Amino acid sequence: GQNIDQPTEMTATEGAIVQINCTYQTSGFNGLFWYQQHAGEAPTFLSYNVLDGLEEKGRFSSFLSRSKGYSYLLLKELQMKDSASYLCAVRDGDYKLSFGAGTTVTVRA
């Protein structure tokens, strides 16, 4: 099966920066996704990386290194509403999307 690892929990202060790491081992690679999921709500799409490098989208950025099987999601200028679970997902060589267990981020005032 596929193996996708990310930390279980992270805590940060409002206005700060948090970096959520994701490492993966999959059979083939067709892209990496980050989703945000608030409690009791649907996961919503944040970012997509298929080539190495940094993708920036407002306060959120995502980085990918295919050779290292590594990605991170960077959340800048944290706001209270950013408290949520962040899911790393990888599309493998058969186009199947596998998810990590998610990282719960708690933003404190």
Partner 1 sequence: ETGVTQTPRHLVMGMTNKKSLKCEQHLGHNAMYWYKQSAKKPLELMFVYNFKEQTENNSVPSRFSPECPNSSHLFLHLHTLQPEDSALYLCASSPSEWDSNTEAFFGQGTRLTVV
Chain residues in the site for partner 1 (CB under 8 A): 4, 8, 30-31, 33, 35, 40-45, 48, 50, 87, 89, 91, 95-102
The DSSP symbol for 66 reads T
Name the minimum Å distance from CB 5 to partner 1.
10
Name the minimum Å distance from CB 3 to partner 1.
10
Name the minimum Å distance from CB 41 to partner 1.
6
**CA 49 to centroid of chain Cα atoms:** 10
Size of the chain, expressed as the number of residues it contains = 109
Decide whether 3 or 13 has the Cβ nearer to partner 1.
3
Decide whether 17 or 97 has the Cβ nearer to partner 1.
97
Please provide residue 44's backbone torsions phi and psi, each rounded to the nearest 5 degrees. -120, 145
Q: Write out the DSSP string of 35-46.
A: EEE-TTS--EEE
Token pair 């709500």 is at which residue?
A: 41
Decide whether 43 or 78 has the Cβ nearer to partner 1.
43
